[in-house]
Amino acid sequence: MTQVTRDIDPADARDLLERPARACLAFAGPAGPQAQPVTLTMRDGRYFVAIPESTGVRPEPGQEVVLLVDDGVHYFDLRAIYVRGHAQPAQAPASVRPALAWLEVVPVKTVAWDYGAMRAVDDGH
Amino acid sequence: MGIDDPAARAILRCAMVARLATLSGSGRPSVTPLYFVCRAGHVWLGTPVWTLAVRDVKADPRVSLLFNVEGAPGDGRLLRLAGRATVRTDAEAQRSYVWRVALKYSLSPGGLWSQLAHLRLLPLQRRYRAQSAARGPGAVIDVTPEGVELLGAWVVRGIGGSSGQN
């Protein structure tokens, strides 16, 4: 039996991390879920995100977060990397303005999808 | 600022993919990119009823939505909307959503062109949708806005990059 999947190896979506069209961090804030746009930088395979210091609500150290980097508008152009992990305070890269608070997203689970790479796969049954 | 503010409306007109942040019943966060349409001051997002987004909204109706301007390179305006959501599976909501989303996406010039460019994938798309339908029907996540923020220009950079909010 086969089934159709849109899932891909996150390593195959590395170009999405090099030129992210949309990147946001989701976490639980005091008033509910927060969707926070972030600046994303990858260093040595690690995910670093920045939020303006002026942002009132930020994840606490160790708090569970989800980083979503996605791209595309039309169906077969839609693709994304979804990283569930924990936020840890991080040092700012030397070259950037200090008005940003940097966090590392330490991944626990990473998945990726690409509707343009849709294919049939053996479902093991 | 409300959803009918001209600045908010201008971004919503140009936005194509909303990012929906939710919490599970145990408070775990998630975020899902979804197609959306605006209707009578509400935001409607479509997704199958079995998805994490729907399960989360049923457990905790509070949501946070991000919208950005598409098709205008360099325009980093973002809109964040906080609200409460309900899950609708009634036929009227489904019909209305499907028609509106088809006009906005698949029947738009860009949508039609994209389908022509991916003709070989259309049979797989039909099978993928049938797989999803076998797990459960479609749902509309109906968001009633409670607060709207204009976040200004935001630049997202990739590997080795840096940026900031203007």
Q: How many CB pairs under 8 A join A and B?
A: 165
Residues contacting residue A11 through CB under 8 Å, at least 6 positions apart: none
Q: Is the pTM of this model over 0.90?
A: yes
Question: Can you name the CATH fold of A2-122?
Answer: Pnp Oxidase; Chain A (2.30.110)
Chain B within 8 Å of A38 (Cβ-Cβ)? yes
- Quickly count helices (H) and strands (E) in chain B: 5, 6
Report which of residues B69 and B57 the model is more confident about. Answer: B57
**B164 occurs within a structural domain:** no
pLDDT at B166: 33
**B162 occurs within a structural domain:** no
Calpha distance B90→B141 (Å, rounded): 11
- Determine the distance in angstroms separating the CA of B53 from the nearest CA of chain A, rounded to an integer: 12
Whole-angstrom CA distances from A5 to A24, A101, B25, B33 are 24, 37, 28, 17
Calpha distance B136→B138 (Å, rounded): 7
**B121 occurs within a structural domain:** yes
Contact B33 A70 (CB under 8 A): yes
What mean pLDDT is predicted for residues B141-161? 74
What mean pLDDT is predicted for residues B115-129? 96
ipTM of this complex > 0.90? yes
**Which residue ranges make up each domain of chain A?**
2-122
Q: How many domains does one find in chain B?
A: 1
- Determine the distance in angstroms separating the CA of A62 from the nearest CA of chain B, rounded to an integer: 13
- Determine the distance in angstroms separating the CA of A89 from the nearest CA of chain B, rounded to an integer: 17
Percentage of chain B with pLDDT > 90?
80
Calpha distance A72→A21 (Å, rounded): 8
> Are the CB atoms for B104 and B110 separated by under 8 Å?
no
**B165 occurs within a structural domain:** no
pLDDT of residue B10 exceeding 50: yes
Residues contacting residue B119 through CB under 8 Å, at least 6 positions apart: none
Counting every residue written for chain B, the total comes to 166
**B138 occurs within a structural domain:** yes
SS3 assignment, position B8: helix
pLDDT at B161: 42
Interface with A, mutate which of B156, B157, B163, B166 (most A CBs under 10 A)? B156
CATH of the domain at B65: 2.30.110.10
pLDDT at B165: 41
Which pair of structure tokens corresponds to residue B41? 């001051």
> How does the average pLDDT of chain B come out, rounded?
90
List, as own/partner pairs, every contact residues B161-165 make where C-beta atoms lie below 8 angstroms and the sequence separation is at least 24, other chains included. Answer: B161/A39, B161/A40, B161/A41, B162/A39, B162/A41, B162/A50, B162/A93, B162/A95, B162/A96, B162/A97, B163/A39, B163/A50, B163/A96, B164/A39, B164/A50, B164/A52, B164/A96, B164/A97, B164/A99, B164/A100, B165/A52
pLDDT of residue B1 exceeding 90: no
pLDDT at A97: 64
Per-residue pLDDT 10s for chain A (125 aa) are 899 999 999 999 989 998 888 999 999 999 999 999 998 988 888 999 999 877 778 999 999 999 999 999 999 999 999 999 999 999 877 666 667 889 999 999 999 999 999 999 988 76
Percentage of chain B with pLDDT > 70?
91
Side-chain-facing half-sphere of B157: CA atoms under 13 Å: 14
**B88 occurs within a structural domain:** yes
Look at residues B159, B127, B18 and name the one whose alpha carbon lies nearest to residue B79: B18
Chain A residue closest in CA terms to B62: A32
Chain A within 8 Å of B156 (Cβ-Cβ)? yes
What is the span of the domain harbouring residue B96? 6-153
Contact B162 A23 (CB under 8 A): no
Chain A residue closest in CA terms to B108: A74
pLDDT of residue B163 exceeding 70: no
pLDDT at A43: 87
Calpha distance A97→A95 (Å, rounded): 7
Calpha distance B18→A102 (Å, rounded): 24
Contact B114 A74 (CB under 8 A): yes
> Are the CB atoms for B42 and B142 separated by under 8 Å?
yes
Chain B residue closest in CA terms to A69: B33
Chain B within 8 Å of A21 (Cβ-Cβ)? yes
